[in-house]
Amino acid sequence: MSRTILVVEDETPIREMITFVLEQNGFKSIEACDTEQALASINEPYPDLILLDWMLPGGSGVSLAKKLKKNEYSRNIPIIMLTARGDEDDKVRGFEAGVDDYVTKPFSPKELIARIKAVIRRVSPTSLEEEVEFHGLKLDPVSHRVAINNNSLNLGPTEFRLLHFFMTHTERVFSREQLLDNVWGTNVYVEDRTVDVHIRRLRKAISGEGHDEFVQTVRGSGYRFSSKLKK
């Protein structure tokens, strides 16, 4: 599963080292060197995690973390603070600002990747075997059953995986490429437009009670699974 990580670090050598390590471990990266670039990078499709330096031009990482956690669209993005400030009081400030973990410089690439994976596991909305429900729509990944208000549905294997991914990642926009990576896998070659075909099939399959409206097209960005009305 390919995750996108925003690296907010003003020192170019450190930022490039981090992005190299991320890409070597199967992650995608977005780079920002200050708070302004960071804010401009946090839009649909949103990053899966933010690596945030404490000291930044234009404002501190702590201030940026507080701002992100107050915003309804970015507050659920996990943040790992990267800093040379290792005092307990500084760590407390970071956690009070809403960060999910704290990595003190200098750190090893192995430690960083381990922390990233641990945070992603911790904030994951559900396990891969847990039954999920969304406004009367139920999916059981173990028995491979889907129902709307206890009425069984027949879904193809790809539509089932697509629905499972959407239901465990609600209110977030995913590009076609991200859906391909997460649903089809990174080692499978499938054209981007194939996603659109399966989206149409999924919508048709869950349209009985109007649940097809949950699968929303976000023009220029991709798709989102949401019960909120599109703006």
Walking along the chain (231 residues) 10 residues at a time, the average pLDDT comes out as: 85 93 92 90 84 87 88 82 77 82 87 86 62 90 89 90 91 86 69 87 89 92 83 50
* Structure tokens belonging to residue 164: 């499972």
Q: In CATH, what number is assigned to the domain containing residue 221?
A: 1.10.10.10
* Residue 180 is assigned to a structural domain of this protein: yes
Count other Cβ atoms within 10 Å, centred on residue 119.
Answer: 18
pLDDT at 229: 65
Residues 21 and 83 in one domain: yes
pLDDT at 3: 83
* Residue 44 is assigned to a structural domain of this protein: yes
Residues 43 and 115 in one domain: yes
Residues 96 and 113 in one domain: yes
CB 173 within 8 A of CB 221: yes
Residues 43 and 105 in one domain: yes
Q: Which of residues 95, 123, 151 is at a domain's end?
A: 123
Q: Which of residues 123, 151, 181 is at a domain's end?
A: 123
pLDDT at 163: 94
* Residue 231 is assigned to a structural domain of this protein: no
**H helices within the chain, ranges in order?**
12-24, 35-41, 61-70, 88-96, 109-123, 157-167, 176-179, 193-205
Residues 119 and 143 in one domain: no
Residues 60 and 85 in one domain: yes
Q: Which of residues 74, 91, 123 is at a domain's end?
A: 123
pLDDT at 162: 93
Strand order in the sheet with 151-153: 132-134, 137-140, 145-148, 151-153
What is the span of the domain harbouring residue 56? Answer: 4-123
Domains held by the chain: number:
2
